Amino acid sequence: MNKKIIYSGIQPTGIITIGNFIGAISNWLKMQDDYDCIFGIADLHALTVRQVPAEYRKRALSFFAQYIACGLDPEKSILYFQSHVAEHAELQWILNCFTYIGEMQRMTQFKDKAAKHADNINMGLLDYPVLMAADILLYQTSLVPVGIDQKQHLEITRDIAVRFNNLYSPTFTVPEAYIGERGAKIYSLREPGQKMSKSDPDPNAAVSIIEDADVIMKKFMSAVTDSDTVVRYDPENKPGVSNLMVIMSEMGGLGIQEIERLYGDKGYAVFKRACGEAVVERLKPIKAEYDRLMSDKDYLMAVARDGAERARRLARRTLNKVKRKVGLVEQ
């Protein structure tokens, strides 16, 4: 790997929405040519919340297949399951010894999750950022795409790396936040003032990238708009219609002005149908590839094993260096 390394770990929870696809994954596809990318399914992280084992296993594999179906290329990037590379947990333990309890207790996300899961405030919730630090530092990562809720975790990762480097000489690359081209922000089809979320309790609020065409069309036909009939881009006064216009622009390749020209006076029913059809058409090859992958588990697991082996080679190099520096006896 001779380019800058980008690492991103994603928990296999909920669904991948068209909002995720437009806002994030479409940019990851471009990153593959400019960086050495490592995409991990962060299945260890998600264990901080109780999971139904059979369902969780199926969902994690589905996530893995969806990433490949979207265009993340196992030949260009490393795609793997976090739990398949034991070095993550091993480095986490060592980094725990260089992390202070007060630092973890101040983490905003720990406070939020502890409040939501008061009956299950486990050590994983508290120690989550150190595992995230291990994920990133194992691969000498230069850049990490982070959302607002993960910025604090990246800062503690940087603090741990600098602390270790100062004690034992340069060992870890100190990562920076990746600020790339931002995809359009997509809002709920039912509450256009809120971001489209995979965890929304209303099943009609979000559109999955692997839903059947008829389900997608029903969701768009029932999308919230307004009492007007004109298709016009006006996020403040017409948030629902404006959101649909952005979705159609991103998924169908039409400019906002062109959408206004084609559908401005056609009425909402015609526009919603056209928007739904554009999304269905864009997702058709993704859905077909996903179905193919899920029907060929042997291939899917071969890709996962290869990704884990490639990840392990990089991880082992870093971990061996760390173990030597802290004084552990080498094998």
* Residues written for the chain: 331
Burial class (CB in 10 A: 0-12, 13-18, 19+), 328: exposed
Place of tokens 């091993």: 90
Nearest to 127 by CA among 105, 145, 148, 146: 105
Burial class (CB in 10 A: 0-12, 13-18, 19+), 2: exposed
Angstrom distances, CA of residue 225 to CA of 204, 210, 241, 282, 292: 14, 24, 5, 23, 36
**Catalytic pick among 30, 76, 185, 198:** 198
Q: Is 323 a catalytic residue?
A: no
Q: What single-letter amino acid sits at 16?
A: I
Instruction: Give just the sign of the alpha carbon dihedral 44, 50, 55, 59.
Output: negative
Long-range contacts of 162-168 (CB under 8 A, 24+ apart): 163/98, 164/95, 164/98, 164/322, 167/98, 168/325, 168/326
**Catalytic pick among 195, 266, 323, 325:** 195
- 110: tokens are 């720990």
Strands 5-10 and 36-41 come out as: parallel
**Catalytic pick among 4, 58, 76, 113:** 113
- 190: tokens are 């039912």
Q: Is 195 a catalytic residue?
A: yes
Nearest to 157 by CA among 133, 131, 125, 126: 133
Place of tokens 């990433």: 67
Catalytic residue positions, numbered: 113, 195, 198
